[in-house]
Amino acid sequence: MKSFWCGAVIPNCEATFEAATEDEILDRVAAHAADDHGLDELSPTTVARVREVIVDQ
Ligand SMILES: [Zn+2]
Task: Give the residue extent of every domain in the chain.
Answer: 2-56
Gap from CA of 35 to ligand 1 centroid (Å): 9
Give the Å distance between the CA of 33 and the centre of ligand 1.
Answer: 6
**What span, in angstroms and rounded, lies between the C-alpha atoms of 15 and 25?**
12
Q: Which residues contact 28 (CB under 8 A, 6 or more apart)?
A: 17, 19
- What pLDDT, on a 0 to 100 scale, did the predictor assign at position 33? 96
How high does pLDDT run on average in the chain? 96
If pLDDT is split at 50, 70 and 90, which confidence band does 32 have?
very high
Distance between CA 1 and CA 34 in Å, rounded? 24
The predicted structure's pLDDT at residue 2? 98
Q: What is the pTM of this model?
A: 0.90
Whole-number Å distance between alpha carbons of 11 and 8: 7
**Looking at residues 19-42, what average pLDDT do you find?**
96
* Amino acid at site 46: T
**β partners of residue 3:** 18, 55
Rounded mean pLDDT, 35-50: 94
